[in-house]
Amino acid sequence: MGLISLPLCYTAAIMSQPSFRPRIQVLSDHVANKIAAGEVVDRPASVLKELMENALDAGATQIDVAISGGGKRLVSVSDNGYGMDRDNALLALERHATSKIHDVDDIERVTTLGFRGEALAAIASVSRFTMQTRPADELAGTEIEVNGGKVQDVRDAGCPAGTRFVVRNLFFNVPARRKFLRSDQTELTHLRQTFLVYALAHPEVGMTLMVDERPVYTLAAGAALADRLAEIFGHDYMRNMRAVDGRDTDISVTGYCGMPHVQRADRSEQFIFINGRPASTPVIAYALNEAYHTLIPKGRYPSVFLFIVIDPGLVDVNVHPTKKEVRFRRSDVVRDILIRSVKRALSPGPETEDAVSPGGDASVAPGPGPSQPQPRLRIADLPSLPMFNYPRFSPQGEPPREDTGPAHSAAPDASGEGRGAVATGGGSSPWSWCRVLGQVGGLYVVMETEDGLVLMDPHAAHERLMFERFMRALEGRQIKSQGLLQPETIALSPADAARVRKQLPVLEAMGFGLSDFGGDTFIVDAVPDFLGRASAASLLGAIADTLDQGGDRSGTMRSAEERIAKAACRAAVKANDKLSVQEIERLVVDLAGAEMPYTCPHGRPTLIFMGFSELDKKFGRIE
């Protein structure tokens, strides 16, 4: 007790003496800048964010970014914007110096990405900072060197029109902050994600990214959003996106939203831009959940790229030091138009026939849009199939059900003649025989059994079969690979690529033939044989969602593989997939032999049954 309490008491006694009472003092600008840097700059990605925002506010049409050492060694941003003369360049390094607002009332109608005037001073105070800048109408530019917040040199320089910021040795003078930075690869992932956010927010601006002197992205200027999305995520990805276009008096919502099967375990593919600013607010998350709540499982999140344009006076951007969150004056209006616009984009009904690409760009067709309903398979297109003979399902070992009457006492065979129902009493099949009648709504399979009418969801049924097959192979260590005729080259997002690279041994144990091609690209030449129907790209995208969810608790191989098995289930046949007669027959046969044929791995039903007695009651044949 004495070891702890004595020093504290001694300190309190000293502080109580008049001569030792602490005095209030004004912090120097140098110290204040370091403190401010803690709010504005917490990692290299924060530096890139602030510098790219400055470039965009300066009217740049081309932005070139260079990264080295995960951003700890170098973050460089060059633009062809307005540039600054010497006086303005020096003033820009002062705290709260900005050209973007002039009065307190201007905060109520901010139209630029930045406005606080803190970023450059904060960055320069914790790095070795160089700025070169020149307005287009001047012959000579200005170069300023700052070392840890202290200006070292100001000189004339020959440089192109625009501005170039070079930030070296970030946090060199704040070792406590530097030691909390992650590995170079982790910091690089954050940097690349930040670059992609602004590349998507402003597709009209050309952008390049160099990492350790190697080109990673070269994005052309003047692109439409669909072009930029296809350039980053691929044309196959765009086939699963639907155009969003909703408007009200003071607000418009444009962009793209993913079909229900394009979903993730997190919100990392939800890009929301408010007046060109990457930001969000709880009301947007609520609106997206509401628009998708009947389409995707709970805990899953859709992929969306939405641009909200609103009167600047109706949105408050001065909420968060990094401007990540905003507040709407009329959040209910924003919520309603978001829900309405996204639902209309996802609906195949006639009300979506007028939808076009955001911004009126009809030249890009990323696949069947909301104006092109998915084709439905009519019952007339699907001939009746012959009966399949299975043992009757008897859950508690009861004898088979007696025939209820003449109307249902016999089942027709394939030739149309009646015969007695087979009932062996063993096994786990939901029926002793069945006949496929057709498919309705482009999705649900209708079957007749000895007990009544059955509706089957092919997607849920396929999920169950894939999961059980995988787990049996996993438990028996009998995983077989199926080589691809043509190896697939797959480009993933930076975050997904990092997860996949980390788990390469696990994926190989799963039966994937996978090699790292460099950057975010992988080559897949084999997949587990029972997953041969699904594309390798969709499998890796789904698997990457769940690889790291368990953290240290899922360190064993089995735990990691079980998580990957659940992700693989999402590669099952999807709603509106047109199934052939043979595919439906195979699905029915396999489901009858499943260990748990009644639900998918997530607990959703695979079958809905309506017995003959219930049908008789509905038609008034019996009391």
Task: Judge whether 425 and 399 are in contact, CB under 8 Å.
Answer: yes
Domains, the chain: 29-219 (3.30.565.10), 225-360 (3.30.230.10), 379-399+410-457+579-618 (3.30.1540.20), 460-569 (3.30.1370.100)
pLDDT in tens, 288-311: 988 887 667 778 888 999 999 988
Task: Judge whether 253 and 226 are in contact, CB under 8 Å.
Answer: no
β 62-68/206-211 pair status: parallel
- 480 φ, ψ to 5°? -110, 145
Q: What number is the average pLDDT over the span 103-119?
A: 57
The residues, any chain, with a CB within 8 Å of residue 482's CB and separated by 6 or more, are 526, 527, 528, 529, 531, 532
Predicted confidence band of residue 35 (pLDDT cuts 50, 70, 90): low
Which has the closest alpha carbon to 295: 243, 354, 347, 241? 347
pLDDT at res. 161 = 95
- 181 φ, ψ to 5°? -70, 150
pLDDT in tens, 235-294: 878 888 999 999 888 899 999 998 877 778 888 899 999 888 888 888 899 899 888 876
Predicted confidence band of residue 205 (pLDDT cuts 50, 70, 90): very high
pLDDT: is 558 or 55 the higher one?
55
pLDDT in tens, 522-536: 888 888 765 655 666
Predicted confidence band of residue 415 (pLDDT cuts 50, 70, 90): very low
Q: What number is the average pLDDT over the span 507-536?
A: 77
Element (H or E) spanning 564, and its range? helix 557-569
Global pTM exceeds 0.85 = no
575: exposed, middle or buried (Cβ count in 10 Å: 0-12, 13-18, 19+): middle
Query: Alpha carbon 81 to chain centroid distance?
Result: 32
In the structure encoding, which two tokens stand for residue 386, read together?
Answer: 């012959």
| Gap between the Cα atoms of 184 and 194, Å rounded | 15
Instruction: Reduce the DSSP state of residue 4 to 3 states and report it.
Output: helix
| Gap between the Cα atoms of 528 and 302, Å rounded | 27
- 48 φ, ψ to 5°? -60, -40
The residues, any chain, with a CB within 8 Å of residue 607's CB and separated by 6 or more, are 430, 454, 455, 456, 457, 461, 597, 598
Percentage with pLDDT > 90 across the chain: 28
Instruction: Reduce the DSSP state of residue 239 to 3 states and report it.
Output: coil
pLDDT: is 213 or 437 the higher one?
213
In the structure encoding, which two tokens stand for residue 230, read together?
Answer: 């296809």
pLDDT at res. 378 = 37
